[in-house]
């Protein structure tokens, strides 16, 4: 077997980008203060460490918000320029106007312009180098798929041209249209493919394969495992790529794959989460009150009807509560009965579209959070009429009620609208992934993705 080539996995690429960004950022400021007329940041000051830590903190936070560390953005020149400009500009504005913790405002205001350019141009040039040199199949994870074509084709097609995997080959019963590298699973051994390629990972699905083929595969996998080849199941790979649990987990053996995160019973985590809920909700209500005059005027002229409305929802452990929202639909929108909201819903008013895109319509729910009906992060609460129907048609739907519903959630930021049973089932699999992987880090990711949705007016 030939020696494997090192590769950068998803987390390593993101960490790599962050580290080099920080190095480039600090180096450009240091060199500029040493060799050109840039004196906003004095590297000889005793406070330099605090200044740089604050700058790095701001840059990484805004970089996350504006998706500069999203790998789909990092390999697109237009999106990289856009994200870098927004990150550098936001960092500059907040940094300059952070009293006591950042350097004093310079007498020559051009220094601020220089500061912005130094946080933008060097990193942009480095990102272009990354795209042309580092972002190369040479550093991708080289994988092979083993399994029935009908079983693997969807995921195989998905990762065939993504930003992290290089599909070297696949062993199956027949060729998947449009995907090169087919090998007949009854005539080709996995070992021969591994020997001819620099394979990093073997993804295996034994479903729908004959007993003879499965026995042959098992013998090979044992030998490959002894040689240090990473072997994972199709379901695990699916979960890693799609950040939701696969449909196969929702069966009578669910307990083999679905376990509650330890944080669901971690009192320290739950107490900290409750403190954050209350703190951010108070800030949210204050911000909402600032926007309220604009909302009242908009509602008066464009919505023409009640500003607020309440609706019965299902909360933790199936308990019902009333959710508070700003009305975004026409009056009597459900005169014929409860109907799922959908993308480009004709019932949504022109001002209601603005409320939904900015998520202002959800802000009264900070009251629900303070009351304890909801949390900031969790599965979105559904209406009792829908829940009853969904529990009848989708196995394990009631599991999502094991934790408090949220103002936003993992399903919400990855799959905003679902108005069919199949789409609701997909959304459920995101919710169950969150319950399974629940952590402070995942909560932070959801919060940042929600903030990005608001900034880019991606709400529906």
Task: Examine the domain organization and report whether 217 and 325 are in the same domain.
Answer: no
Burial label, 44 (beta-carbon count in 10 A; 0-12, 13-18, 19+): exposed
Mean pLDDT over 277-305 rounds to 91
Residues of the chain with pLDDT > 90: what percent?
52
Task: Examine the domain organization and report whether 327 and 220 are in the same domain.
Answer: no
Mean pLDDT over 195-217 rounds to 89
Task: Examine the domain organization and report whether 189 and 98 are in the same domain.
Answer: no
Residue recorded with tokens 């509650």: 260
Task: Examine the domain organization and report whether 424 and 289 are in the same domain.
Answer: yes
Look up the domain containing 331 and give its range.
262-455
Is residue 440 left, alpha or beta, with left meaning phi > 0 and alpha meaning psi from -120 to 50? alpha
**Rounded Cα gap, residues 365 and 23, in angstroms:** 41
Mean pLDDT over 386-408 rounds to 92
Does residue 138 surpass a pLDDT of 70? Answer: no
Q: Does residue 460 belong to any structural domain of this protein?
A: no
Task: Examine the domain organization and report whether 101 and 164 are in the same domain.
Answer: no
More confident residue, 133 or 323: 323
Q: Does residue 46 belong to any structural domain of this protein?
A: yes
3-state secondary structure string, 128-168?
A: HHHHHHHCCHHHCEEEEEECCHHHHHHHHHHHHCCCCEEEE
**Rounded Cα gap, residues 69 and 75, in angstroms:** 10
Q: Does residue 253 belong to any structural domain of this protein?
A: no
**Rounded Cα gap, residues 460 and 453, in angstroms:** 10
Q: Does residue 436 belong to any structural domain of this protein?
A: yes
Helix axes 440-455, 48-65, angle to 10 degrees: 70
Task: Examine the domain organization and report whether 215 and 272 are in the same domain.
Answer: no
Burial label, 279 (beta-carbon count in 10 A; 0-12, 13-18, 19+): exposed
The 10s digit of each residue's pLDDT in 100-132 is 889 988 888 899 999 999 999 999 999 998 888
Does residue 95 surpass a pLDDT of 80? Answer: yes
Domain count, the chain: 3
Task: Examine the domain organization and report whether 421 and 312 are in the same domain.
Answer: yes
Which of 242, 271, 299 terminates a domain? The answer is 242
**What is the dihedral sign for C-alpha 192, 189, 178, 133?**
negative
The pair phi, psi for residue 406, each rounded to 5°, is -125, 160
Task: Examine the domain organization and report whether 337 and 439 are in the same domain.
Answer: yes
417 bridge partner residues? none
The 10s digit of each residue's pLDDT in 18-62 is 999 999 999 999 999 988 888 899 899 999 999 999 999 999 999
pLDDT at 3: 47
Mean pLDDT rounded to a whole number for the chain? 88
**Rounded Cα gap, residues 3 and 198, in angstroms:** 7
Task: Examine the domain organization and report whether 130 and 149 are in the same domain.
Answer: no
Residues of the chain with pLDDT > 70: what percent?
92
pLDDT band at 5 (very low <50, low <70, confident <90, very high): very low
Which of 134, 164, 190 terminates a domain? The answer is 134
Q: Does residue 249 belong to any structural domain of this protein?
A: no
Q: Does residue 438 belong to any structural domain of this protein?
A: yes
Task: Examine the domain organization and report whether 197 and 230 are in the same domain.
Answer: yes
Task: Examine the domain organization and report whether 163 and 216 are in the same domain.
Answer: yes
Which range is least confidently modeled, 84-88, 97-101, 169-173, 374-378?
97-101
The 10s digit of each residue's pLDDT in 348-393 is 888 888 888 888 899 999 999 999 999 999 999 999 989 999 999 9
With b for 16 or more beta-carbon neighbours within 10 A and e for fewer, the 421-437 pattern comes to eeebbbbbbbbbbbbbe
Q: Does residue 5 belong to any structural domain of this protein?
A: no
pLDDT at 220: 92
Which of 86, 102, 134 terminates a domain? The answer is 134
Task: Examine the domain organization and report whether 113 and 32 are in the same domain.
Answer: yes
Question: pTM of this prediction?
Answer: 0.82
Q: Does residue 3 belong to any structural domain of this protein?
A: no
């Amino acid at each position: 077997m030939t020696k494997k080539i090192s590769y950068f996995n998803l987390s390593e690429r993101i960490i790599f980008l962050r580290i080099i960004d920080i190095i480039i950022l600090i180096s450009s400021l240091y060199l500029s203060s040493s060799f050109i007329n840039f004196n906003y940041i004095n590297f000889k000051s005793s406070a330099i460490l605090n200044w740089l830590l604050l700058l790095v903190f701001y840059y990484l936070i805004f970089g996350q918000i504006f998706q500069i560390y999203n790998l789909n953005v990092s390999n697109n020149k237009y999106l990289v320029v856009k994200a870098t400009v927004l990150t550098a500009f936001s960092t500059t504005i907040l940094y300059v106007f952070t009293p006591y913790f950042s350097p004093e405002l310079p007498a020559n205001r051009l220094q601020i312009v220089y500061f912005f350019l130094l946080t933008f141009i060097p990193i942009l040039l480095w990102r272009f180098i990354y795209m042309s040199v580092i972002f190369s199949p040479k550093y991708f994870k080289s994988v092979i798929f083993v399994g029935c074509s009908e079983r693997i084709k969807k995921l195989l097609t998905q990762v065939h041209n993504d930003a992290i995997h290089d599909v070297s080959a696949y062993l199956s019963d027949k060729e998947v249209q449009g995907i090169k590298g087919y090998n007949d699973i009854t005539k080709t051994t996995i070992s021969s493919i591994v020997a001819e390629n620099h394979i990093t990972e073997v993804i295996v699905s034994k479903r729908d394969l004959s007993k003879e083929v499965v026995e042959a595969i098992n013998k090979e996998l044992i030998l490959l495992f002894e040689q240090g080849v990473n072997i994972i199941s199709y379901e695990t790979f699916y979960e890693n790529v799609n950040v939701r649990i696969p449909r196969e987990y929702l069966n009578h053996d669910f307990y083999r794959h679905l376990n509650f995160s330890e944080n669901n019973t971690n009192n320290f985590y739950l107490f900290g989460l409750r403190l954050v809920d209350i703190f951010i909700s108070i800030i949210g209500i204050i911000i909402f009150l600032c926007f309220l005059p604009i909302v009242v005027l908009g509602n008066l002229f464009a919505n023409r009807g009640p500003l607020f409305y309440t609706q019965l929802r299902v909360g933790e452990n199936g308990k019902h509560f009333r959710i508070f929202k700003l009305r975004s639909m026409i009056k009597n929108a459900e005169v014929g009965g409860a109907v799922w909201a959908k993308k480009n819903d004709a019932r949504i008013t022109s001002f209601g579209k603005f409320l939904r895109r900015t998520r202002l319509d959800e802000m009264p729910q900070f009251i629900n959070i303070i009351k304890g009906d909801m949390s900031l992060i969790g599965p979105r609460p559904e209406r009792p009429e829908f829940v009853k129907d969904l529990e009848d048609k989708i196995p394990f739907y009631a599991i999502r009620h094991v934790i408090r519903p949220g103002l936003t959630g993992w399903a919400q930021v990855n799959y905003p609208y679902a108005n069919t049973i199949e789409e609701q089932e997909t959304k459920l699999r995101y919710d169950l992934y969150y319950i399974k992987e629940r952590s402070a880090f995942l909560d932070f990711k959801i919060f940042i993705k929600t903030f990005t949705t608001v900034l880019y007016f991606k709400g529906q």
